[in-house]
Chain A
Amino acid sequence: DTAVSQTPKYLVTQMGNDKSIKCEQNLGHDTMYWYKQDSKKFLKIMFSYNNKELIINETVPNRFSPKSPDKAHLNLHINSLELGDSAVYFCASSQESSGVYEQYFGPGTRLTVT
């Protein structure tokens, strides 16, 4: 039983293309996140949704657009991909309303832009 799943695991694409990464959690959590981890392992939050509502939107290019069709899903769409978008993208979830705060992470999607 995978708690937080992401697809695809690997994504290789050319500059200028548009791509999407999907995330699903089966933990019943109310909050989901997208993080970007660069080649030096630095982890930075991009977005956070609570009950389908955007609550955190860091300084991210507007080429990145998250979409949450329901509480269990948070997808990330990226337009006009650039070389600098190459990274590992992690989805995570947590149950904020219960005051637990620990986040559960997916396995990551390694995006390579050529």
Chain B
Amino acid sequence: AQSVTQLDSQVPVFEEAPVELRCNYSSSVSVYLFWYVQYPNQGLQLLLKYLSGSTLVKGINGFEAEFNKSQTSFHLRKPSVHISDTAEYFCAVRTYSSASKIIFGSGTRLSIRP
């Protein structure tokens, strides 16, 4: 069975500073990886995904993530954050098999200070 660990429950950063949200996964088979964002009182929205190919994945709103198979990580980064990036961020994993479910991490609360 696969699992996802988000190492930080909260990450406070100043506006315009860089940020990295950490995600590690565990799986005995190959996986697809995702980052979702949840703004207050809203549903989840896909930021980016890794299915195959280049290990550096670019998403919406200036975010990017790098798949590192040897370290089983998929950390999310942004070089300069804005107040509007304040949200909950979820890393997720699913296996290649059909009818596979997505397993979500516990989330990281990103709070931006002016």
Contact = CB atoms under 8 A, between A and B. Distances in A.
Partners in one complex: yes
Interface of A: 4, 40-45, 48, 50, 55-56, 90, 92, 96, 101-108
A107 B43 contact: yes
- Secondary structure dominating the interface of B: strand
Interface residues of B, number: 23
Contacts of A90: 43-44
B30 to A, nearest CB: 13
- Secondary structure dominating the interface of A: strand
Contacts of A42: 104, 106-107
B44 A101 contact: no
Given A92-B44, A108-B42, 14 more contacts: A42-B107, A43-B44, A43-B90, A43-B107, A45-B101, A48-B101, A56-B101, A90-B44, A96-B98, A101-B49, A101-B94, A105-B45, A106-B43, A107-B43
Contacts of B99: 48, 50, 55-56, 96
Contacts of A96: 98-99
Contacts of A40: 106
Contacts of B41: 108
A99 to B, nearest CB: 8
A101 B88 contact: no
Contacts of A43: 44, 90, 104, 107
B43 A4 contact: yes
A106 B38 CA distance: 11
What are the 6 tightest A-B residue pairs by CB atom distance, in nearest-first order? A105-B43, A105-B44, A43-B104, A41-B107, A55-B99, A102-B46
